[in-house]
A and B are shown apart, each in its own frame.
Chain A
Amino acid sequence: MAYALIHATTRALYSQMLSAPVWNTLIHAPDFDTLLSELTKTVYGPYLQLDRQLLTPRRVVYQVKCHLAHIYTKLIRIAPDPAKQLLRQLWLVYEVDNLKAALRGIETGASWEQVLFLLSPIPSHASLSAADMETMVRAGDVVRAVERLKNTRYYDTLAHALERYQTEHNLFPLEVALDLDYRRELWQSIQQLSDEDRKYALQIVGTALNVDNLLWALRYRLYHHLSEEEIINYTLPLGSQITSDHIRAIAVGENLGEVVAQIYPKLPAQILNALNTGAEGLRTLELALQRHIVKICRSVFIGYPFHIGIPLAYLQLNTHEIRDLITVIEAKASQMPASTFVPLLELYPLLSEDGVNPADMNN
């Protein structure tokens, strides 16, 4: 019953997620201002109580993300150990993304003021504070910025990868090193859970990790045209769903549709076939896999409730909700018609009665 409090809290938060009618209102808002005014009536309202002039699309996205940081803080505070550790680790993905954004900002000569609202909001439980990030950006160049991270969890990884950055003058090795390191630690946090909790964590976080891994491998091949050995070294087959053989098969240039079908046999044929067409097919697959994760998360809420799966599923769902919101915000800001961006949403179609329900892709 260690999960009684976090379960009750998560249920209460879950009930605050945007409903299908609210999504419809947001999607069909005639312009950005109307979208803002509708958004203020939702759970995101308190984060948008700023001067209208300040609420640029970028700032709105930042403010919306504050909700995610807030609920992470809340759930981490009440989570029992070692679930607390896993939730903390899960949140670090935003910190890693912040680090990458800061490094890109430095590389392009952006000021701290320009970088700040591109970051995810930094809650109190973060290992890098806003001041740390600012110090890093103000350092002016990547090497000095990494030096500023001394005594943080990221220093060893970045300092080692720095040699490649200095040779190749490209942030890619730094970013990949951060991603691999983060996911390895996340995997270790899952292994430290009890059998029951690990089962749920693998179902949710494990699936998300596998999806990341598969998409990385596909991107490395389709976009970056990397060699077999590079693709293998830049991926992490964690768990049983995606093996080294699958990664190798992708890397050596086997038919991508067939390889992905081995992993997700129930994935519709048109999605698998589209993979061989390149970038467009990859986008379709990515969308289908994200909806697959959403579906798994929603199923966790049915059945015995006192386990880590509930907060994990809720946090994952909230991540998707915010990603959908960002799509809608950016679409409205650029006056894009609903027909163009609605098919790109991950969570909304599963809420909407008319939405596309992807086939059950579980083995």
Chain B
Amino acid sequence: MRKVELVVPEQDIVPVTEALAASGLFHLVPTEYFGDENVVGTGNKWHTWAITFTTLERRILMVMEALHVDAGSPPDAPHLIEPDVAQRDIEHLEKEIQAPLHKLEASQRRLTQLERYLTQLEPIADLEVDLSTIRNMRYTYVMLGLMPTANIERLRSSLEHIPYSLVQLRREEHLTAVVLFGLQRDAQILDRAARSAYINPLNPPETYRGTPAEAISALHAGIERTRQHIAEDQVELEYLQEIHARLLQHLLWRVRASRKLVETIARYGRLRYTYLIAGWTPASKVPLLQHQLETVSENITIEISPPKREREGNGEGRVQDQVIPVALDNPAFFRAFQGLVTNYGYPNYGELDPVTIVALTFPLIFGIMFGDVGHGLLLTLVGALLLSRKVSALKSLANMGFVVVACGMMATICGFLYGSIFGFENVLPALWLRPLEDIMDILIITGGVGASLLSLGMIYNIVNAALNKKWGHMIFNRNGLVGLAFYWSLLGLAISIFIPNFPIKTATFATATVLLGAAVTFSEVLARLVEGQRPLVEESWGSYLMEAAFELFETVIGLLSNTLSYVRMGAFAVAHGALSLVVFIIAEMVGSPHSLGYWLVVILGNLFVIGFEGMIVGIQTLRLEYYEFFSKFFSGGGLCYTPMSLVSKESNEA
């Protein structure tokens, strides 16, 4: 990575920002990075424009929604549009669609209204009474309408003191069709009560005369006519969609890009006539970026510098860490495992990328726990299916395809080593051992694999410290050289105790353990001594010694538990065999071998083992990687390299 600092004249700020975004190479750093109080955020103009563009974008989307136009694909390098120009275009479009849209909406409302009349009349379709008779009753008050079901009780309560009758005709989810009867002399009270209970009276226009059946027939005709009007209005809107779709999409993306552009400029530092921009670019791409910037601005000042690894301070005593972004660049196969690593965190700049080692250890751990030729091959097929992207429901998991394939293949290899295929332990010869028969062996061996992986983690930590020239950390850290030697001496001590004729004597390991334990106890002091940091102890020596003693105890327990944690690989290998055995026991209980029931149970049982145990083993593998392995060397506090863009992925949604 190279630090790129730009001083850009005010008049060139827009083309320079567009060029930075179009290059796809520049990771922008916020203004505060400069740490200079003379550098202030840019003025309100860009903020105001950002708000304006947000509003304009929303208005465009509303027009697009009305015309059923999608967002389309983003252009390669959109340019800034002046807010006034965009506003004029949008107003023109809004005006053009307003009349047909309102016409369509009015027709749709009319259709809804007519359908509602129809719904209300249908329950009384059999009445042989002229609707006009109901309308013009002399002594009886009649109101037919639709009201919220929840209001019925209150309406009854409000009319307690006058004679009335409320008949419920049809009940829908929230609304009920009702007829309210009363006396004409109480019409005012009934009207007020009906209105305040939200009865929307059914007043079919005078054109709908005759009996309810006749009115229904007329309503059907009216609905048909309205539907025709709607279809005509839609044709008009479709025509507008056809002629304006491309303009709308173009406008949308320009406004979107402009919003992102002005939001980006608002984050720059600014002096009176110049803007200050800082960011990061991969070292190999710097000349290309430089060329692209010089093409758009003759007066731009570009300063390139390598990252400083030390903490840097300014004259005012403020100290600021440089956070250098990290661009992980792995081959396609390893990239599949990148997600597993970045899910935990990004490595810091200058640290080893753990993706490669995860790509090797993850399938290994999985395979040891899930060793079965049949199950492994099935998993491999599932992985291949994910990679093929042929099943649309699984497309989002395509990136995991390589991981599943690798795990499946390793499970297949381990299956051959264990002599297991679909749980059958007597079909294939075991090339190495059978976990179910050699339980102690598999547990000890997986413990050994765990110790190797933990040692590998510590070696990674030592290399990382060396790369960053943290010599004290490299030698004396608990996961550094001393820590590694202490771990090995502890392992040696355990081995020499349990293996009587071990070539190296227990006393030798015990002496090494004591000496290295003392070094671990004083690791912090020794590291500070080597790195020239003072004071050697933050508080008093007494409290330091007390703390260090407890930490040594914690280290020993931690190393022990980390190592034993890997024994679960063996335990799961045994459990895998045991679970398969259970499937066969159940199958034999269901029917004799070769019977349909037997094979049905075997197939279902195998599917269960693959799904259920496969998932558990996957989780356990992840756990061993994250908690046991990563904790030795990987803190995950790095920053992802994200080149600025005006058409980001998230905005690619209408």
Contacts and interface: CB of A to CB of B under 8 A. Distances in A.
Given A138-B58, A147-B105, A160 B189 contact: no
Nearest to A236: B154
B654 interface: no
Nearest to B159: A229
- Interface centre among B55, B193, B196, B197, by most A CB within 10 Å? B196
A178 B319 CA distance: 56
A157 B55 CA distance: 29
Nearest to B195: A164
B217 to A, nearest CB: 25
Interface string A157-175: 1001101100000000100
Secondary structure of the A contact surface, majority rule: helix
B227 to A, nearest CB: 19
A313 to B, nearest CB: 29
Contacts of B159: 229
Contacts of A144: 105
A281 to B, nearest CB: 25
A173 B105 CA distance: 23
A233 B197 contact: yes
A342 interface: no
Contacts of A163: 200
Interface string A140-161: 0001100100000000110011
B98 to A, nearest CB: 9
B2 interface: no
B158 interface: yes
B8 to A, nearest CB: 25
A160 B192 contact: no
A164 B194 CA distance: 11
B105 A229 contact: no
Contacts of B193: 229-230, 233
B151 A233 contact: yes
Contact of A138 (B62, B150, B154, B189): B62
B198 A173 contact: yes
A233 B196 contact: yes
B55 A112 contact: yes
B105 A227 contact: no
Interface in A225-256: 226-230, 232-234, 236, 244
A142 to B, nearest CB: 13
Interface string B177-205: 00000000000010011011110100000
Given A147-B105, A161-B198, A184-B150, A229 B58 contact: no
Given A135-B62, A163-B200, A173-B198, A156 B157 contact: no
Interface residues of B, number: 25
Interface string B142-153: 000010101100
A134 interface: yes
A163 B146 CA distance: 11
A36 B207 CA distance: 65
Contacts of B151: 180, 233
A302 interface: no
Nearest to B162: A229
B192 A232 contact: no
Interface residues of A, number: 29
Contacts of A230: 158, 192-193, 195-196
A244 B157 CA distance: 8
Contacts of A138: 58-59, 62
B154 A232 contact: yes
B192 A177 contact: no
B174 A156 contact: yes
Contact of B198 (A131, A134, A160, A228): A160
A78 B55 CA distance: 35
B148 A233 contact: no
Contacts of A157: 148, 174
Given A144-B105, A233-B151, A233-B154, A134 B58 contact: yes
Contacts of B175: 156, 160
Contacts of B198: 160-161, 164, 173, 177
A160 B172 CA distance: 13
Nearest to A235: B154
Contact of A229 (B146, B148, B150, B196): B196
B579 interface: no
20 contacts: A131-B58, A157-B174, A160-B175, A160-B198, A163-B200, A173-B198, A177-B148, A177-B198, A184-B150, A226-B196, A227-B189, A229-B158, A229-B189, A229-B193, A230-B192, A230-B196, A232-B154, A233-B196, A234-B196, A236-B154
4 interchain residue pairs of minimum CB distance: A233-B196, A229-B158, A232-B158, A229-B193
Interface of A: 112, 131, 134-135, 138, 143-144, 147, 156-157, 160-161, 163-164, 173, 177, 180-181, 184, 226-230, 232-234, 236, 244
Interface of B: 55, 58-59, 62, 105, 109, 146, 148, 150-151, 154-155, 157-159, 174-175, 189, 192-193, 195-198, 200
Given A138-B62, A177-B198, A230-B196, 11 more contacts: A112-B55, A131-B58, A156-B175, A160-B174, A180-B151, A229-B189, A229-B193, A230-B192, A233-B155, A233-B193, A234-B196
